[in-house]
Structure 1
Amino acid sequence: MHVETAASYIHSHAFLGDSHDAHERRTRWVVALTAAMMLVEIVAGWITGSMALLADGMHMATHAGALGVAAMAYAFARRHAHDRRFVFGTGKVGDLAGFASALVLAMIAFGIGIESFWRLLTPKTVAYTEALWIAGLGLVVNLVSAWLLADGHHDHHGHDHHHDHEHGGHHDNNLRSAYFHVLADALTSVLAIAALLAGRFLGWAWMDAAIGIVGATVIARWSWGLLRDTGAVLVDASLNPGLEAEIREAIEDGDARITDLHVWRVGPGRYASIVSLIAADPLSPRAYADRITVHEELVHVTVESHRCEGHHAPRLRAA
């Protein structure tokens, strides 16, 4: 007979992503690239008078800041992964960093939009040739940054499970925000180049400010998407109905009925669950836990079972 010891009931609370260290290294490289290009674009935009170029530089400034926070979040989560003060580990630190970055981006998007609107009313002279060179260089840096982050983003996406129906459930939101952010930067650079070409060859001076407004809109939409997804993780929203359905199917194979079920994310691709059930002749909580921990993403499971008289317990729906 197998005899379990106290140690068999003790487990780690380090719920970091599978590629946490690799993502941290990629993020640091992109921070360095973006910070350098940010300074070039902001200075050049100021000197040449290009609002589209300045907007792209400011966007890259927020991007560099967001990535800097992301890099620090990776380091903090790694250093404190086994710190018992964090009762469910540090897996959500990346989501917290993403949420904070999204708030800053929303404010920057508003500022760029207002400034671009005033430039529409009072156009300024733009040094198109110089601005085009800088905008082209910015696009190259954005594409290189996207390439650095793309492998980690796609590799992680490839490990998603078929039952995952939530937004970004198995994604590392730190890496996800960085990846889509550099894509947004690349789009803003393309728009800036288009505006400068239109002004240089067609005389459409107004196009520069108009593109600044478009760039602000792109930043705002990205910000809202990240706020929505990271906020849902931070408030422990129920995000994975597919996993919940599989837990119910595994537990309710017999006369057991779940009366209360909670499933929430504690890290990239990592979930915790609390299950309360009733049965006429309940098994041990460990037996029920063993049924559902076959799902590797369930890393922290608590089960409480209660005896209910009557062979067929009523099927109750979770609140």
Structure 2
Amino acid sequence: MAHHHAHSHADHGHGHAHAHAHDHSHGAGGSERKLLIAFVLTTLMLVAEAAGGLVSGSLALLADAGHMLVDALALLLAFLGARFAARPADARRTYGYGRIEVLAGFVNALTQFALVAFIVFEAVQRLFSPQPILSGVMLAVASLGLLANVFVLRLLHGHDPDDVNVAGASLHVLGDLLGSVAAVLAALAVRWLDWTWADPLLSILVSLLILRSAWSLLRRSGHILLEGTPDGLDLTEIEKALLTADPDITGVHHVHVWQVTAGSRMATLHAELQPGTDQARVLRALKTMLSERWRVGHATIQFDPGRCPDELEGCGKGRSHAR
């Protein structure tokens, strides 16, 4: 039951966001199809860029192809994440498989760091001993890569801002786009100005861009995996607001808000009530406030008779708000 609540909410979020997307699709199916198309296109481009990089001797193309490889894996993981996330919960995984997409985002970010280390190492060597480059081949392949990336980025545009999965994929493709721009610029510099050093230098710039997006993704997915409070929510403020949900509430404590996966928020809390209060009414008031103000799809609420029974375990030391 809990799971149903969480998901109906998450799906609502997805549907809302996808109303702005190009194919006006609702829910996971739309993002699944987009991710699959993006994966196929990226894989084709990565093969072309790797071949082009080897033939022309361009590191910027190889860097972009390397980034696209991580990218293709990212899109594949994101696709599988979206596919598995839709699986129903079972007795062993009561929250379903939603977390797979968060794990995919986390693993993804880590692979980016390894890629950057390789590119920078290679580029530094090339700056000291420049290699000849066939700028014509390089320019043609880089331009093709740029067009493919613009198309894929437009395809993934307009996802739910809370969807770490598609956000991760989009970040990768944006990095790719910048990588392709760098490769085009490097090809022009080598072709018209004979600046062979522009190639490894721009591949280092691409690496810095990859690094920035990887760090952001690592932070966001790590925060969800650590059961962190969703961004933009202040627990102290939530506790104070919940006190005002009903005049019979005398105290609110043990408040936890977290996300199972991006967009599906859960909460647990304890509330102290005046003796003889209508608990059903207070329960409705609290759940309504949590849902409307903070988009919490599923809340578990405990009413404490007098003192909190957890005080024996040191509850008193925790955060507590009373009137």
Give your verdict on TM over 0.5: yes
Specify which of 216, 224, 245 is matched with residue 207 of structure 2.
Answer: 216
When normalised by structure 2's length, the TM-score is 0.82
Matches for 1:191-202 after TM superposition, within 5 Å: 191-202=182-193
Q: Offset at 1:258?
A: 1.1
In structure 2, the gaps of 5 or more residues are 15-26, 308-315
Specify which of 43, 46, 70 is matched with residue 54 of structure 2.
Answer: 46
Which secondary structure does the structure 1 equivalent of 2:299 belong to? strand
Q: Residue 252 of structure 1 contacts residue 258 of structure 1 at CA under 8 Å; is this kept in 2? A: no
Change (3 A) 1:240 1:126: closer
Task: String of CA shifts for 1:246-278, please: whole Å, max 9, x gaps.
Answer: 464134443421121000012332211110122
1:122 aligns with: 129
Q: Residue 13 of structure 1 contacts residue 87 of structure 1 at CA under 8 Å; is this kept in 2? A: no
Matches for 1:208-287 after TM superposition, within 5 Å: 208-240=199-231, 242=233, 244=235, 245-246=237-238, 248-253=240-245, 254=247, 255-281=249-275, 283=277, 286-287=280-281
1:11 and 1:55 map into 2 onto residues whose CA distance is: 43
Which secondary structure does the structure 1 equivalent of 2:259 belong to? strand
Q: Residue 112 of structure 1 contacts residue 213 of structure 1 at CA under 8 Å; is this kept in 2? A: yes
Matches for 1:31-180 after TM superposition, within 5 Å: 31-78=39-86, 80-151=87-158, 153=159, 156-157=160-161, 171-180=162-171
In structure 1, the gaps of 5 or more residues are 1-8, 158-170
1:26 aligns with: 34
1:291 and 1:281 map into 2 onto residues whose CA distance is: 17
Q: Residue 113 of structure 1 contacts residue 216 of structure 1 at CA under 8 Å; is this kept in 2? A: yes
Task: String of CA shifts for 1:169-223, please: whole Å, max 9, x gaps.
Answer: xx11111111122111111111111111111111211110001111111111111
1:3 aligns with: none
2:3 and 2:184 map into 1 onto residues whose CA distance is: 54
Q: Residue 258 of structure 1 contacts residue 278 of structure 1 at CA under 8 Å; is this kept in 2? A: yes
1:206 aligns with: 197
Q: Residue 26 of structure 1 contacts residue 149 of structure 1 at CA under 8 Å; is this kept in 2? A: yes
Count of aligned pairs: 289
**CA-atom RMSD, angstroms?**
2.3
Structure 1 letter corresponding to 2:29: D
Q: Residue 250 of structure 2 contacts residue 274 of structure 2 at CA under 8 Å; is this kept in 1? A: yes
Q: Offset at 1:301?
A: 1.0
Q: Residue 6 of structure 2 contacts residue 266 of structure 2 at CA under 8 Å; is this kept in 1? A: no
1:21 and 1:283 map into 2 onto residues whose CA distance is: 45
1:69 and 1:173 map into 2 onto residues whose CA distance is: 12
Change (3 A) 1:191 1:10: closer
Q: Residue 286 of structure 1 contacts residue 303 of structure 1 at CA under 8 Å; is this kept in 2? A: no
1:213 and 1:112 map into 2 onto residues whose CA distance is: 7
Task: String of CA shifts for 1:276-313, please: whole Å, max 9, x gaps.
Answer: 1223437465444322332163222111122338xxxx
Q: Residue 102 of structure 2 contacts residue 262 of structure 2 at CA under 8 Å; is this kept in 1? A: no
The structure carrying a bigger helix percent of its residues is 2
2:232 and 2:53 map into 1 onto residues whose CA distance is: 48
Q: Offset at 1:122?
A: 1.2
Q: Offset at 1:13?
A: 6.1
Change (3 A) 1:282 1:270: farther
